[in-house]
């Protein structure tokens, strides 16, 4: 079983043999919720790829000291994967971004699609964005990821079309598409974006705007998936073709 991972700031410069303090919410979780004991293995990550592996050296109330035994940095992902997730009702979009994070997505873009019932405006939008970032951080921690995916501010279809036209390979999941996602040629590096519509589907105008900007309409299979499962399913197909066969797990 892999050692539990916790996120911490100011890890840069740490060397083997150093003692690093884990305090705050993460220290409290490690010391009082997980009840880690002296000598137990632990990992600390900065959320940007730096990982310290070591053992608990001491526990002091809601914090603990970690003796560093190994320092490593995760390589930049190639290619990187982005999930463009349409806002959905209930907690379906939360489910989608949580699973996508566990699978290995690198960036998440909330999409205010035409048929999205949920609207992110003003303070409500700020709270919703903060919630998504919290969901992603928790999922990264649970899955022992060294990096926390970036959650960008929400954008509308015009913004998404501009993003698509910048040269990224963008795959739009659509039930009427004829190209299987497994048949698309993938780049060795750069970014691959997967666009998932809301429960009501992607409108013809939206599909036209995105494909007109260079996106490719693709399908997963013969069934129609919910917005909560379509993105993770597509990412699993793409990651299996690229990074999963060479990725090294966190120890």
pLDDT for 55 equals 97
Mean pLDDT over all residues of the chain?
93
* 121 or 218: which leads in pLDDT: 218
Q: How far apart are CA 203 and CA 115, in angstroms?
A: 7
Q: Tell me the pLDDT tens digit for each residue of 125-181.
A: 999 999 999 999 999 999 999 999 999 999 999 999 999 998 789 999 999 999 999
Tell me the pTM: 0.90
**Cα torsion 235, 241, 246, 251: sign:** positive
In whole angstroms, what separates CA 231 from the centre of its chain?
11
Phi-psi region of 143 (alpha: psi -120 to 50; beta: other; left: phi over 0): alpha
Work out the angle at residue 189's Cα, subtended by the Cα atoms of residues 74 and 160, and round it to the nearest 5 degrees. Answer: 105
Q: Tell me the pLDDT tens digit for each residue of 225-249.
A: 888 999 999 999 999 999 886 545 4
Does residue 15 contact residue 27 with C-beta atoms inside 8 Å?
Answer: no
* 213 or 91: which leads in pLDDT: 213
Residue 175 burial (C-beta neighbours within 10 Å; 0-12, 13-18, 19+) = middle
Residue 186 has pLDDT above 50, yes or no: yes
Q: How far apart are CA 83 and CA 238, in angstroms?
A: 12
Q: Which two tokens stand for residue 247?
A: 């990725």
Q: Tell me the pLDDT tens digit for each residue of 68-102.
A: 999 999 999 999 999 999 998 878 889 999 999 99
């Amino acid at each position: 079983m892999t050692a539990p991972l916790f996120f911490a700031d100011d890890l840069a410069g740490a060397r083997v043999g150093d003692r690093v303090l884990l305090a705050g919410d993460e220290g409290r979780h490690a010391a009082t919720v997980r009840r880690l004991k002296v000598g137990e293995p632990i990992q600390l990550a900065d959320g940007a790829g730096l990982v310290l592996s070591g053992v608990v050296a001491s526990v002091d109330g809601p914090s603990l000291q970690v003796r560093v035994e190994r320092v490593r940095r995760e390589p930049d992902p190639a290619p990187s994967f982005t999930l463009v997730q349409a806002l959905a009702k209930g907690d379906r979009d939360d489910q989608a971004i949580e699973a996508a994070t566990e699978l290995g997505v690198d960036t998440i873009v909330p999409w205010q699609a035409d048929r999205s019932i949920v609207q992110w405006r003003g303070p409500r939008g700020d709270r919703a964005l903060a919630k998504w970032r919290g969901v992603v951080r928790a999922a990264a921690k649970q899955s022992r990821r060294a990096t926390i995916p970036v959650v960008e501010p929400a954008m509308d279809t015009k913004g998404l079309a501009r993003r698509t036209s910048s040269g990224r390979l963008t795959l739009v999941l659509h039930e009427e598409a004829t190209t299987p996602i497994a048949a698309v040629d993938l780049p060795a590096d750069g970014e691959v974006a997967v666009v998932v519509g809301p429960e009501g589907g992607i409108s013809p105008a939206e599909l036209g705007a995105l494909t007109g900007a260079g996106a490719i309409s693709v399908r997963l299979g013969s069934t129609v998936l919910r917005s909560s499962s379509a993105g993770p399913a597509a990412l699993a197909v793409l990651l299996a073709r690229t990074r999963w066969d060479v990725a090294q797990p966190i120890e």
